[in-house]
């Protein structure tokens, strides 16, 4: 795991990890972190209670894994999420 991420990259990785529709594979593609590395990063960066809440939320969630995702879902975010 690369521990030399900028504050902005760390913030984005944490944001992507919290997003329901962003798969771990997308984080791996952009930042080179596999699921175990994201879990370690989240454990290190979040408060213990927040980490437990996040782990409960993502454990077994099919949208966080491309192979388990329904084939109709081809994007990682809602089209209206990034309005200007």
* 13-23 confidence digits (pLDDT tens): 999 999 888 88
Share of the chain above pLDDT 90, in %: 52
- As given in the structure block, the two tokens for residue 18 are 């919290």
pLDDT, residue 59, reads 86
pLDDT, residue 76, reads 55
CA pair distance 9, 43, nearest whole angstrom:
16
pTM of the full predicted structure? 0.74
CA pair distance 29, 7, nearest whole angstrom:
19
Residue 63 has pLDDT above 70, yes or no: no
Residue 83 has pLDDT above 90, yes or no: no
Exposed, middle or buried: residue 47 (CB in 10 Å: 0-12, 13-18, 19+)? exposed
């Amino acid at each position: 795991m690369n521990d030399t991420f900028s504050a902005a990259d760390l913030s984005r990785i944490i944001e992507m990890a919290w997003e329901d529709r962003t798969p771990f594979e997308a984080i791996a593609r952009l930042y080179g972190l596999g699921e175990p590395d994201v879990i370690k990063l989240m454990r290190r960066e979040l408060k213990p209670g927040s980490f437990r809440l996040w782990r409960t939320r993502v454990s077994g969630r099919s949208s966080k894994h491309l192979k388990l995702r329904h084939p109709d879902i081809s994007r990682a975010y809602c089209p209206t999420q990034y309005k200007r």
